[in-house]
Amino acid sequence: MHIGIIGTGSYIPTSVIENQDFNNHEFLNADGSSFKQDNPVIIEKFKAITGIKERRYVEENLNTSDIAFLAAEKAIADAEIDKEELDYIILAHNFGDVAHGQSQSDTLPSLATRVKHHLRIRNPKCIAYDMLFGCPGWIEGVIQANAFIKSGIAKKCLVIGAETLSRIVDPYDRDSMIYSDGAGATVVAADDSGGQILAHESATYAHDEAYFLFYGKSYLSSSDEHTKYIKMFGRKIYEFAVTHVPQAMNECLKESGVPISEIKKIFIHQANEKMDEAIVKRFYGLYDLEMPEGIMPMNIEKLGNSSVATIPTLLDMVRNGKLENQSIQKGDVIIFASVGAGMNINAIVYKV
């Protein structure tokens, strides 16, 4: 029995925020002091490191569960299944629904339940729940869907990654330029005509690393101390990622039994262009190989970092020919890999 992805869909917000739109922002250091450089210099350095030129923000009337639903509709249609056949809806996110202009997270009912409601699914045996696993949440959802189907308790699962990070960024933090909004969805099913999950690997490092990403107050000292925003220790995350993610990918590949020469693409969480390149280069370095040209599709330049949504939206774009010079074909072996809050890492070796 092959268990794989039989349908994909995504929602890319229409509001484009370019780097130059941050020229008039007041960026501060963590201690509240001002930067010595002017904003154009800060933004140019940001672009050189992250590769981000622009990002997408959701419209004011939409929330995380709304765009998750829109992506889910497309994935169900692409899979050509009856929505009532779904056994599970697994929705990966980090902050719930945060309405425009608000800072409070709303997760009651769960976002997966809201998506099921929007889809108008009547079947009570379609179980809907949320996945909180940081940026690797969508991959972990696929891993769980695979387990459900392999055990025989499910046949079809909808796995979604959705986030509206623009609602929880501190405008005084230059890291706010990294984050964006988006949603990607996939239908995972037992289907011998579809793809196949060959191996997977997951880990949580929480001894010293648990708070590399956290909820913290604004860098503007006069701000309400009770209002929190997404914060991170960027250097620590970089060092953690380039050390542990290549190892996870390597262990996953060994478990799959596939030689590295057969890997056609690596779909890595679109966190930071330089970091992603370093991860993939170190992965190939474990085999004394150079990173192959074109092995790593990227959309971070235009879409920014939408956390759990980056890989499923990237997959949908490549699968549908929407990313220049990137494609996958039936029978290709690819790798999904991610790192994020927790600190969590995971990987899947997948045969298209």
Q: What are the residue ranges spanned by the domains of the chain? A: 3-194, 198-351
Whether 338 and 268 have beta carbons less than 8 Å apart is answered as yes
Report CA-CA distances (Å) from 146 to 117, 149, 201.
24, 5, 13
Task: Quote the CA–CA distance of 296 and 304 in Å, as a whole number.
Answer: 16
Report CA-CA distances (Å) from 307 to 14, 161, 171, 181, 253.
18, 8, 18, 8, 24
Task: Quote the CA–CA distance of 112 and 93 in Å, as a whole number.
Answer: 10
Task: Quote the CA–CA distance of 229 and 231 in Å, as a whole number.
Answer: 6
3-state secondary structure of 202: strand
Phi, psi (deg, nearest 5) at residue 187: -105, 120
Whether 244 and 201 have beta carbons less than 8 Å apart is answered as no
| pLDDT given for residue 188 in this prediction | 97
Q: Would you put residue 109 in left (φ > 0), alpha (ψ -120 to 50) or beta?
A: beta
**Containing H/E element for 215?**
strand 213-217
**In this structure, which topology does domain 198-351 adopt according to CATH?**
Peroxisomal Thiolase; Chain A, domain 1 (3.40.47)
Q: Would you put residue 347 in left (φ > 0), alpha (ψ -120 to 50) or beta?
A: beta
Strands (E) across 236-343 are located at 263-268, 333-340
Whether 89 and 66 have beta carbons less than 8 Å apart is answered as no
pLDDT in tens, 263-320: 999 999 999 999 999 999 999 999 999 999 999 999 999 999 999 999 999 999 999 9
Whether 188 and 75 have beta carbons less than 8 Å apart is answered as no
- Which of 275, 345, 350 is CA-nearest to residue 135? 345
Looking at domain 3-194, does it have CATH number 3.40.1710.10?
no
| pLDDT given for residue 158 in this prediction | 98
CA within 13 Å, CB half, 61: 1
Whether 154 and 107 have beta carbons less than 8 Å apart is answered as no
Task: Quote the CA–CA distance of 81 and 68 in Å, as a whole number.
Answer: 18
- What pTM was estimated for this model as a whole? 0.94
Bridge partners (DSSP) of residue 281 are none
| pLDDT given for residue 57 in this prediction | 97
| pLDDT given for residue 225 in this prediction | 81
What are the residue ranges in the chain where pLDDT is below 70?
Answer: none
- Which of 301, 339, 19 is CA-nearest to residue 177? 19
Q: How many CB atoms lie within 10 A of CB 77?
A: 13
| pLDDT given for residue 223 in this prediction | 86
Fold agreement between 3-194 and 198-351: yes
- Which of 219, 294, 223, 304 is CA-nearest to residue 263? 294
Question: ∠251-257-262 over CA atoms, to 5°?
Answer: 100
Whether 137 and 308 have beta carbons less than 8 Å apart is answered as yes
Task: Quote the CA–CA distance of 168 and 17 in Å, as a whole number.
Answer: 16
| pLDDT given for residue 326 in this prediction | 94
pLDDT in tens, 139-162: 999 999 999 999 999 999 999 999
